Chains A and B, each alone.
Chain A
Amino acid sequence: DAGVIQSPRHEVTEMGQEVTLRCKPISGHDYLFWYRQTMMRGLELLIYFNNNVPIDDSGMPEDRFSAKMPNASFSTLKIQPSEPRDSAVYFCASSPGTTVISPLHFGNGTRLTVT
């Protein structure tokens, strides 16, 4: 089991550019979560999917952020246009998720720097 795979590991871009972050969940996990981590606010849940369907996107900061899950093995988080305040580490996590005690498995994150 390769775990949750995120790409790229690091992304540096200029303000105004489009950024796409990618995630491959663990096979068989039917929940997928996107988190953002900053020093000031810690971990924040942006959005989560169940069986490829977005369930709760109330954490998405604004319309510049969008997420998709076209199939069970792939999800993207897109920021367009990017701003310096979007600089953070973005984590994807997946879970088998049939009960509230189902464990979360995190990827190693994408460190985004917007200059």
Chain B
Amino acid sequence: KQEVTQIPAALSVPEGENLVLNCSFTDSAIYNLQWFRQDPGKGLTSLLLIQSSQREQTSGRLNASLDKSSGRSTLYIAASQPGDSATYLCAVRAAGNNRKLIWGLGTSLAVNP
């Protein structure tokens, strides 16, 4: 059974720092992995999607990497800003069921001005 773990559960950093959020999964048989952002009282917004054949994806100050063999992904945020404060969730799309995402519990990020 696929399980997704995110560490740390919460993170507080000063503005301007570069930071890394971690996501690990137990079954390497995945189609893709996605990172989402959730603001308080809101739904989720997709940030980056990495296909199983890819190693990384970049969007602006965000870079997501995928090491499928070791069951790990990282989300790197460069030059963090207070507006980056949110909960970040990763989700894997398991092989064999195209529509189901298996979710981590998220990392709650606070960027302090």
Contacts and interface: CB of A to CB of B under 8 A. Distances in A.
Given A56-B99, A106-B44, 7 more contacts: A42-B89, A43-B103, A48-B99, A56-B97, A91-B43, A93-B44, A100-B31
Interface in A38-52: 42-45, 48
B98 interface: yes
Interface residues of A, number: 21
A77 interface: no
Contact of B100 (A4, A56, A108): A56
Interface in B27-72: 31-32, 41-46, 49, 51
A25 interface: no
A61 to B, nearest CB: 16
Contacts of A93: 43-44
A104 B46 contact: yes
Interface in A72-100: 91, 93, 97, 100
B89 A43 contact: yes
Contacts of B44: 91, 93, 104, 106
Size band of the B side of the interface? Answer: 20 to 34
Q: Is the interface of A mostly helix, strand, loop or mixed?
A: strand
Contacts of A101: 32, 49, 51
Contacts, number: 48
B90 to A, nearest CB: 11
Contacts of B103: 42-44
Q: Which 7 A-B pairs have CB atoms at the shortest separation, nearest pair first?
A: A106-B43, A43-B103, A42-B105, A106-B44, A100-B98, A103-B46, A42-B103
B78 interface: no
Nearest to B41: A108
B79 interface: no
19 contacts: A4-B43, A31-B99, A33-B99, A42-B103, A42-B104, A42-B105, A42-B106, A43-B89, A43-B103, A44-B103, A45-B101, A100-B93, A101-B49, A101-B51, A103-B46, A104-B44, A106-B45, A107-B43, A109-B43
